[in-house]
Amino acid sequence: MGFARLSKGVDFSGPDGDANLVFLIAAPAGGGKEHLKILSKLARSLVKKDFIKALQEATTEQEIVDVVDAVLNPAPKTTEPAAAPAAAAVAESGAASTSVTRIVAITACPTGIAHTYMAADSLTQNAEGRDDVELVVETQGSSAVTPVDPKIIEAADAVIFATDVGVKDRERFAGKPVIESGVKRAINEPAKMIDEAIAASKNPNARKVSGSGVAASAETTGEKLGWGKRIQQAVMTGVSYMVPFVAAGGLLLALGFAFGGYDMANGWQAIATQFSLTNLPGNTVDVDGVAMTFERSGFLLYFGAVLFATGQAAMGFIVAALSGYTAYALAGRPGIAPGFVGGAISVTIGAGFIGGLVTGILAGLIALWIGSWKVPRVVQSLMPVVIIPLLTSVVVGLVMYLLLGRPLASIMTGLQDWLSSMSGSSAILLGIILGLMMCFDLGGPVNKAAYLFGTAGLSTGDQASMEIMAAIMAAGMVPPIALSIATLLRKKLFTPAEQENGKSSWLLGLAFVSEGAIPFAAADPFRVIPAMMAGGATTGAISMALGVGSRAPHGGIFVVWAIEPWWGWLIALAAGTIVSTIVVIALKQFWPNKAVAAEVAKQEAQQAAVNA
């Protein structure tokens, strides 16, 4: 522990004026909550005038050590035997008043890249500063998920679900009081969510997690998710599971073009199946009875065709994955099979991703409804494995083939024809709209809707779809890069925390991770979001105007080789970044955020005090 007495106090906006007594507590890793115990003892003593006076008037270092040591390590008190029961009662009362609530939290966002871990860190940091709660967080992100120990879940008093997607293996938490919200709330209001979880743990009527994969709703208190929000989360779950298929498949397609040449797309299937490493193709290949000549030959042509074929296989699953995991988010495991069946039917009849969205929601709701049936005990074990998937698949198939299939296919065909026919001002307008959507919520539902729109047509390989993908990727890269540059150009307009985030957000932007801009937007949405939307719209418009196309759905600057013309894409990205940087600096300069200004001033005063 260190102590300093400042000659010039520092304004911490406290009710008792400037602070001039400073304590520094350093605890070793693994030291648990020892530092909190020290803080607790100091806090009790700092309200005592004699303790403050002793610190203010001490003339030697040893006097300070003695005063503080007397508080942290008080001499044991001698008590009379007769007083022991009363002392025990007080101890028991104190123990009860400082009881610890055990909470398990799950955080998950659609992409599992940024929001997931930001929410986890926010909850963890808040819990570490409290002595009334023990928190364990399971991040269900894009990397490997380490499930919470079942013993910890069993001992938990409440759970927090901070997710924008379905919770994996939700049934593990059956019967536990639950507080549920979107992932952003855990980032912005961690203390409030923890307080609500503590309150729920003590409320016998609190909302609880049911064993069927959905939260029980009878006689509940606290935040309850409506059907609109649950369906939105289900769709986001479907998108999050679909993204790996799109990313892997799209990049494999792009690599196939890079190795085999762009004309290889006219005969990739024949090349990949008719030839081998010991029987490499020449420039001319028989494709369905027609001799076709390709720019490349030999190993490069064959290897490119194999990569392209593998990518096509992955892309063939995107609609089924979207539908299947949307249904899974609504109904749990019984919804997966009928969801995938519905997605496959959508592809067969030409309904595309629109049909996949419809079948996913439909399968999930039907499976959820059938799962609520009261059936004899002997049939219960067959429900999730046989009966629910069978009946739901039958209903989804009949609805799609007899009612919805043709109308949805017509909508999809009309949409594709419209995209293919766009040129000139209409294409620029679409670029502006897509740029605005990508930068509106920086990884949220609107951003993901635009991304889904772009990736859905990528498997067709037509120029219009590739131009849309290029505009979407470039616009999504603008916010993190622009904010990183802004923090370098005008540091005083940003808090120290934002300045620190700015040091790494540019790299996230280059990799097409829009979530790198979220800390800035959360702290100052009315200035940051409009500025980012202005840059995104600029990028989208220029990209579409220059006819830039991307064969890769993700990767940012690292897949520039899959973008044509690459120089046009870089111009669009640079222009949007410049616009967003200028606008965000101007808004913060001429319409200052008082909270940010106060934080910056406080940090400057503290630094000045340290230097003094």
Could you tell me the CA-to-CA distances from 282 to 201, 203, 570 in Å, in that order? Answer: 71, 75, 36
| 279, β-bridge pairs | 276
Q: What count of other Cβ atoms lies within 10 Å of the Cβ of residue 497?
A: 13
The sign of the dihedral angle between the CA atoms of 255, 261, 267, 271 is: negative
SS3 for 16-64 is CCCEEEEEECCCCCCCCCHHHHHHHHHHHHCCCHHHHHHHHHCCCHHHH
SS3 for 151-189 is HHHHHCCEEEEEECCCCCCHHHHCCCEEEEECHHHHHHC
Q: What angle do CA 527, 121, 330 make, to 5 degrees?
A: 90
Tokens 């629910």 appear where?
Answer: 388
| 292, β-bridge pairs | 285
Burial of 226 by CB count in 10 Å (0-12 exposed, 13-18 middle, 19+ buried)? exposed
Residue 472 makes CB contacts below 8 A (sequence gap 6+) with 434, 438, 450, 451, 453, 454, 540
Contact by Cβ (8 Å): 2, 607: no
Cα–Cα distance for residue pair 456/357, rounded to 1 Å: 12
> For the chain, how far is it from start to end, CA to CA, in angstroms?
21
Rg (CA), the chain: 30
| Residue type, position 327, single letter | A
Helix (H) or strand (E) holding 457: none
Contact by Cβ (8 Å): 591, 286: no
Catalytic residue among 55, 105, 109, 236: 109
Tell me whether strands 563-564 and 549-550 are parallel, antiparallel or unpaired. antiparallel
> Catalytic: 109?
yes
| 515, β-bridge pairs | none
Residue 280 DSSP symbol: -
Q: Which residues are catalytic?
A: 109
